[in-house]
Amino acid sequence: MRVGIMGGTFDPIHTGHLIAAERARVGAGLDEVWLMPANRPPHKPNVPKATTQQRWEMVCLAAESNPFFRPLDIEITKGGVSYSIDTIELLCQEYPDTEFSYIIGADMVQYLPQWHRIDDIVRHIRFIGLARPGYDLDMAHMPVNIRESVSIFPMPLVEVSSTMIREERRERGSVRYLVSDAVYAYMEVNRLYES
């Protein structure tokens, strides 16, 4: 089985994530995409605004919108800072017959050279890179082992971020349709990100 892992802070999960996951699934011919919230992302200085439980519940709700999506709690269960190399080793142990790739947006593509133990990571898995407004997918400046580990698939530019959604909520704007209906309802009921 071929599985794409889409990791993220998902604070909250939004349509940019879901479109990227779906594009990667179809483009790379994946059997499934597993949506995996990080416990504590190593590259983000601020702690997430929503609780870990809330981020997880929103990922579960979003995953229900697509029969090929599934939520994965491996990093939350492990706890601590979520380094991809640790996760990849765990996944390979737990699912020895599954071929994993990582789905990332262009901002993360540009950040790849800074990933903790990236040289080990690219020996284990391949990356699927997708366009994101404000970031290019040019990898000419990167070491060849990293550059060659990334395949790019078409993706419409989706100018949505979790930051934008949190700000919009704080200012009482509408984020409807920027997140799935179920996630929208969850944020309303729990008054998430309102202040």
Interacting residues toward ligand ATP by CB under 6 A: 8-11, 16-17, 20, 104-105, 107-108, 130, 132, 158, 160-163
DSSP 179: B
C-alpha 167/C-alpha 13 separation (Å) is 14
C-alpha 15/C-alpha 7 separation (Å) is 14
Nearer to ligand ATP, 9 or 52 (CB): 9
Nearer to ligand ATP, 93 or 114 (CB): 114
Minimum CB distance to ligand ATP, residue 96 (Å): 26
Minimum CB distance to ligand ATP, residue 163 (Å): 3
Nearer to ligand ATP, 25 or 93 (CB): 25
Minimum CB distance to ligand ATP, residue 97 (Å): 26
C-alpha 129/C-alpha 107 separation (Å) is 9
Report the amino acid identity of residue 90: L
Strand pairing category for 126-130 and 99-105: parallel
Report the amino acid identity of residue 54: Q
